[in-house]
């Protein structure tokens, strides 16, 4: 990777003056730049960036030091910008012009309609060949990207725990026989860590101490002696140490008809942290269950399926083959894939969970028009104002719904490009958008 130093020069300063910032735009990730400047005196300083229509972003304030450096994240491609360094007591440098480059052809095309009703960013990917890790702003514009290895899928993207870049799951297409990897990159797109995780699939969550809790296929002999696919959670530490902490084999009895021809009898497909219980919430597609995995490896609450902790009214259209989900206060929101082989269309489903009566009732459902039958993945995210994002993964569609369930905005990718799980952020590390 190389960077183009566009403008500015550092120089020794006295008093409270501030230098013109040097702006280095990355040659590989053309929406990413680094600002470098110096300031004298005992006041904090930062960089402000303006776009064609006015103020765009500011960096965090830096403590009084001679030289400063800050990442400029959240810039749009192919745009003219100006940047200046300022101090907290009102000193300002000259405005320095710079420009970001166009997106490369590896980033798939997509279109959007409507007006988004929220502000922030999405960490996700476009699943194609190759897959491309992307950060989208709320309008669906690409503000950061990185190509994955050709032939591998990126299904989950998260911030690195220290905010210095991204961590993502690079999954082999034949996930039960090949090694997949947990990748870490800095904001310049440079790979800082690649840890091979045997039979890693679908998803991971942050683990205590900076590691990651990864879903891994767990192959053992079944009732007939033939190998059967189960699932486990493996903690992958930053130094590469890998420790299993839970397995479906220790909880459920394998069905007599399970074999290697069946993906697994549990088919774990989604994992989230449980901030209340201290463990994880785990999606199990083939059990149509969301399970609470406690810190000691035992299973607590089960939502859905034959062993559900909650009873469903007989009239309830039960969730089936769900994927990602979001635990809510008093309920759960899920992407309910249902069964495309029987013509059932996928939906967004919210359940109210009554812990006194131990009942689960449907509080809200939403179907896309036209309907989609999503056979893989699918995600949901509920904001504090009651609005909802729905991700129709295999269709390559994201919808932004008002609290009343009206479509405010929609993104659709080009043919044969999917969208995996998403993480929604209000800001990117080290910068704040000026809105």
Question: What is the per-residue pLDDT across 272-321, written as a single tens digit (0 to 9) for each?
Answer: 999 999 999 999 999 999 999 999 999 999 999 999 999 999 888 899 99
238 φ, ψ to 5°?
-65, -25
CA–CA separation, 238 vs 258, rounded Å? 35
| Distance separating alpha carbons of residues 285 and 313, to the nearest angstrom | 21
Cβ distance 22 to 8 under 8 Å? Answer: yes
The number of helices, as runs of H, and strands, as runs of E, in the chain is 0, 34
- Tokens 């709320």, located at residue: 138
- What pLDDT, in 10s, does the model give residues 2-40? 443 333 344 333 445 899 999 999 999 999 999 999 998
Delineate the domains of the chain, giving CATH numbers in brackets: 3-99 (2.60.40.10), 110-433 (2.120.10.30)
CA distance 346 to 401: 16
pLDDT at 206: 97
- The whole-chain average pLDDT of the chain stands at 91
Mean pLDDT across 340-351: 92
> What is the tens place of the pLDDT at every residue in 124-178?
999 988 899 999 999 999 999 999 877 789 999 999 999 999 999 998 765 555 6
Query: How sure is the predictor about 259, in pLDDT bands with cuts at 50, 70 and 90?
Result: low
Supply the pLDDT for residue 269: 95
Please report the pLDDT score of residue 263 as a whole number. Answer: 55
């Amino acid at each position: 990777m190389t960077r183009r130093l566009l403008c500015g020069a550092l120089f020794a300063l006295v008093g409270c003056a501030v230098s013109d910032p040097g702006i280095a735009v990355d040659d590989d990730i053309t929406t990413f730049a680094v600002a470098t400047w110096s300031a004298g005196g005992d006041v904090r300083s930062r960089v402000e960036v303006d776009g064609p229509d006015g103020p765009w972003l500011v960096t965090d304030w830096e403590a009084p030091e001679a030289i400063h450096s800050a990442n400029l994240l959240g810039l749009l491609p192919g745009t003219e910008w100006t940047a200046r360094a300022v101090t907290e007591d009102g000193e300002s440098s000259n405005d320095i012009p710079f420009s970001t480059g166009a997106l490369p052809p590896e980033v798939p095309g997509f279109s959007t309609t409507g007006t988004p009703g929220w502000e922030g960013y999405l960490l996700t990917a476009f699943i194609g060949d190759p897959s491309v890790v992307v950060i989208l702003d709320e309008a669906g514009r690409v503000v950061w990207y990185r190509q994955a290895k050709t032939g591998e899928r990126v299904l989950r993207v998260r911030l690195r725990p220290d905010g210095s870049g991204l961590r993502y799951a690079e999954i082999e297409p034949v996930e039960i026989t090949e090694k997949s990897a947990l990748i870490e990159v800095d904001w310049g797109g440079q790979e800082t860590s690649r840890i091979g995780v045997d039979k890693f699939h679908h998803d991971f969550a942050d683990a205590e101490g900076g590691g990651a809790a990864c879903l891994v296929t767990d192959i053992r002999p079944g009732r007939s002696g033939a190998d059967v696919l189960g699932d486990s959670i493996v903690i992958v530490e930053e130094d590469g140490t890998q420790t299993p902490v839970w397995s479906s084999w220790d909880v459920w009895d394998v069905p007599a008809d399970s074999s290697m021809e069946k993906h697994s009898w549990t088919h774990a497909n989604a994992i989230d942290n449980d901030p209340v219980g201290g463990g994880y919430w785990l999606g199990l597609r083939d059990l149509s269950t969301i399970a609470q995995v406690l810190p000691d490896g035992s299973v607590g609450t089960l939502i859905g399926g034959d062993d559900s902790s909650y009873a469903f009214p007989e009239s309830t259209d039960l969730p089936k083959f769900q994927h990602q989900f979001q635990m809510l206060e008093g309920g759960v929101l899920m992407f309910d894939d249902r069964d495309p082989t029987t013509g059932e269309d996928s939906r967004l489903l919210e359940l109210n969970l009554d812990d006194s009566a131990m009942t689960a009732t449907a509080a809200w459902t939403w179907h896309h028009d036209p309907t989609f039958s999503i056979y893989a993945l699918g995600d949901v995210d509920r904001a504090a104002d009651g609005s909802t994002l729905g991700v129709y993964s295999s269709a390559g569609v994201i919808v932004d719904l008002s609290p009343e369930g009206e479509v405010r905005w929609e993104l659709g990718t080009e043919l044969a490009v999917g969208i995996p799980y998403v993480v929604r952020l209000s800001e990117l590390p080290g910068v704040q958008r000026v809105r």
